[in-house]
Amino acid sequence: MMKNTAVFQSVSQITLICYLTLLVTFCPERIRAVSPSLTEDILKTSKYTRADEYYSEVYQGEILVPINLLGAVGRPGVYHIPKQTDIVRLLSLAGGTRADANLEDVTIKRRSGETERTININLKQLVQERASSKPINLEANDIVLVTPQEPLISSNTLQGVGFVSSLLGLVVSSIVIIQQLKRN
């Protein structure tokens, strides 16, 4: 029984430390209001700061830049990646492309000052010729769009066909029921 109490106390202490670290990191004003000295102690011992999302421990000394990834990819969102990361590596980090991705129509929107540039990429060709082609590196605040392929039949057409089929089934069922009632 004594051993379980010690384990419970250790787990409780670890949970409290994790909670306080998260609270200090994301809501420091709340903790500072309660205990300014505790806040500073936790901040000194904590390895995480908000700036860490722009710095990579894997790539020591490299600054990370935000990239917006949209469209037919596994996990779309904002990615903070090292400068000079190419488009293929970004897509790999995002879980690859979905089955409906149009690999021949990938777009990068890039803003430099007042000008906006659009870079169209045939990803299928880029991957096939990877050894001989120059990689397309991403820059800070690029927007990458992997467009989905157009379906063979639109969803509106499928809804219309479904509605007509249901209506036709209702009419045929009604006719059969009426004929059965007339026979009896």
d(CA 42, CA 18): 10
| 30 and 79 belong to one structural domain | no
Q: Give 46's pLDDT tier (boundaries 50, 70, 90).
A: very low
Using CA atoms, how far residue 34 sits from 39, 40, 176, in Å, is: 9, 12, 77
**Could you tell me the residue range of the domain that residue 30 belongs to?**
2-48
Q: Are residues 137 and 73 in the same domain?
A: yes
* Domain CATH code at residue 100: 3.10.560.10
Cβ atoms < 10 Å from Cβ of 46: 14
pLDDT digits (tens, 9 = 90+) for 92-119: 888 899 999 999 999 999 988 889 999 9
Q: Tell if the pTM clears 0.75, that is, is over it.
A: no
Residue 85 shares a structural domain with residue 34: no
The answer, yes or no, to whether residue 170 has pLDDT greater than 50, is yes
Number of domain units in the chain: 2
**What's phi and psi for 100, nearest 5 deg?**
-90, 10
Mark whether 89 and 44 lie in a shared domain: no
Q: What are phi and psi of 32, to 5 degrees?
A: -60, -35
Asked if 44 and 72 sit in the same domain, the reply is no
Q: Is residue 177 part of a domain?
A: no
Q: Answer yes or no: do 82 and 125 share one domain.
A: yes
Are 72 and 141 part of one and the same domain? yes
Look at 75 and 49; give whichever has higher pLDDT. 75
Domain check: are 115 and 75 in the same one? yes
Domain membership of residue 154 (yes or no) is no
Is 94 in the same domain as 40? no
Residue 30 falls inside a structural domain: yes
User: Does residue 170 sit within a domain?
Assistant: no
Q: Clarify whether residues 40 and 109 are in a common domain.
A: no
Residues 136 and 96 in one domain: yes
Q: Over the chain, what is the mean pLDDT?
A: 76
